[in-house]
């Protein structure tokens, strides 16, 4: 599954348990996740965007893709990543996808 946000192309690298965002031929950012096989929940762990790609919507594209992926799979998410937590505040239409707040 891949999705394009203007010039940012996002896909799921399930072998590495992360979503990847590309701009052109460059890896612009990743959103790492962990799947809990017992609960079926996906914990969104950490978002990293390359310094040269900051301000290009890479983090938002990753978060948006993760929400659509969860929706398509019928999966709930646990937002451990502080970027995703902030993004969800700005996009409350995805609140029903949150299983619960992250608890370490």
pLDDT (tens digit, 9 = 90+) per residue, 63-102? 999 999 999 999 999 999 999 999 999 999 999 999 998 8
Rounded distance between C-alpha atoms, residue 39 and residue 100, angstroms? 12
Contact between 74 and 95 (Cβ < 8 Å): no
Which two tokens mark 80?
């451990």
Beta carbons within 8 Å of 50's beta carbon, 6+ residues apart: 26, 27, 28, 29, 58
Q: What is the pLDDT of residue 4?
A: 47
Dump pLDDT digits (tens) for 29-62: 999 999 999 999 999 999 999 999 999 999 999 9
């Amino acid at each position: 599954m891949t999705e394009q946000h203007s010039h940012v192309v996002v896909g799921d690298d399930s072998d590495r348990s992360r979503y990847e965002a590309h701009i052109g031929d460059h890896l612009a950012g990743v959103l790492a996740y962990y799947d809990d096989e017992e609960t079926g929940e996906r914990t969104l762990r950490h978002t990293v965007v390359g310094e040269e790609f900051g301000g290009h919507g890479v983090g938002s594209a990753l978060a948006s893709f993760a929400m659509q992926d969860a929706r398509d799979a019928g999966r709930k998410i646990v937002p451990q990543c502080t970027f995703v937590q902030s993004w969800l505040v700005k996009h409350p239409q995805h609140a029903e996808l949150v299983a619960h707040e992250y608890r370490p």
